[in-house]
Amino acid sequence: MTAAGLARFTGRTALLSAAASGIGEAAAHRLAAEGASVLVTDIDGKGAHRVAEEIRAAGGEARDLQLDATSPADWAAAVAEAESWTGRLDVAHLNAGRNFPGAAHELDDDSWHYQLRLSLDSVFFGVRATVPLLRAARGAVVITSSVHAAIGFKGYPAYAAAKGGIDALVRQLAVEYGGEIRFNAVLPGSVLTALWADTPPEAKARISARTPVGRLGEPEDIAAAVAFLASDDASFITGQNLLVDGGRSITSHE
């Protein structure tokens, strides 16, 4: 992992959710490579531990904690861990979410509520828990949303509603906490993580061909945007939803 020689997070502490895989894992490595003390959390505690070990092996500072992003109690424990470790929190990357297919007329109540809880409630719980420490540090929050917040894909109404909710929430929070904490979201397009493990190569080739930059995304593409928005380089940017999708959402799919 390279961080382009940048060290924008020296002396700062970052807390990441869903960071044992994919985008969250890449963001943890990126922030650590740029000098952050990184608290790696995931519902998969063993996976979070592995990522923290890899960061330390690369010379970075990391701790790990099992955290179910839908659990307010787990968020409180993570904030307490950050406080006892470094006494501060500068960055929160709220990354939990998953798209489960199911057209509206087929979706039962439990599935709808679970998806909203995993992809939207988890963000609220993370914000509520981290705001006091972030305020003290004049920190930044970056939320992983999705291109589904901006355009419709057949079969994903609950995911679209959850990620679309983040779109408005980011603006609201940016206004609410003004100069104290910045809030932004990244909207990844198709990014090659575990979520894509079962996608046939022909389907990936089709999507690449429809993407102006001519390829699918890598987790590091999103991590770079997360690091930018979390850093002082973005100190005049708040309340924004940044599409990081190789241009897929701005081209015709005819």
Ligand X SMILES: NC(=O)c1ccc[n+]([C@@H]2O[C@H](COP(=O)([O-])OP(=O)(O)OC[C@H]3O[C@@H](n4cnc5c(N)ncnc54)[C@H](O)[C@@H]3O)[C@@H](O)[C@H]2O)c1
- Count CB neighbours of 12 within 10 A: 23
- Count CB neighbours of 164 within 10 A: 17
Compute the least distance from the CB of residue 114 to ligand X, in Å: 10
Compute the least distance from the CB of residue 45 to ligand X, in Å: 9
Helix (H, G, I), strand (E, B) or coil at 206: helix
Beta strands in 67-219 (DSSP E): 91-94, 140-144, 182-188
Compute the least distance from the CB of residue 5 to ligand X, in Å: 25
Q: Is 126 in the site for ligand X (CB under 6 A)?
A: no
Q: Is 39 in the site for ligand X (CB under 6 A)?
A: no
Q: Is 37 in the site for ligand X (CB under 6 A)?
A: no
Q: Is 156 a catalytic residue?
A: no
- Strand partners of residue 187: 243
Q: Is 134 in the site for ligand X (CB under 6 A)?
A: no
Compute the least distance from the CB of residue 60 to ligand X, in Å: 19
Q: How far is CA 196 from CA 99, 148, 191, in A?
A: 11, 16, 8
- Among residues 114, 156, 159, 177, the one annotated as catalytic is 159
Q: Is 130 in the site for ligand X (CB under 6 A)?
A: no
Number of residues interacting with ligand X: please give it, by CB under 6 A.
29
Separation of alpha carbons 28 and 226, rounded Å: 10
Compute the least distance from the CB of residue 143 to ligand X, in Å: 9
Stretch binding ligand X (CB under 6 A), from 100-108, 139-147, 177-185, 202-210? 139-147
- Torsion sign (Cα): 107, 111, 117, 120: negative
Separation of alpha carbons 59 and 41, rounded Å: 19
Binders in 158-197 for ligand X, by CB under 6 A: 188, 190-191, 193-195
Q: Which of 3, 14, 15, 23 binds ligand X (CB under 6 A)?
A: 23
Asked if 72 and 94 touch (Cβ cutoff 8 Å), the reply is no
Under 8 Å CB-to-CB from 176, ≥6 apart: which residues? none
Stretch binding ligand X (CB under 6 A), from 55-63, 81-89, 103-111, 140-148? 140-148
CA-based radius of gyration for the chain: 17
What is the CB-side half-sphere exposure of residue 62 using CA atoms within 13 A?
Answer: 29
Stretch binding ligand X (CB under 6 A), from 39-47, 51-59, 149-157, 198-206? 39-47
Binders in 81-100 for ligand X, by CB under 6 A: 95-98
Return the active site residues: 159
Residue ranges in contact with ligand X by CB under 6 A = 17-18, 20-24, 42-44, 47, 67-70, 95-98, 118, 144, 146-147, 188, 190-191, 193-195
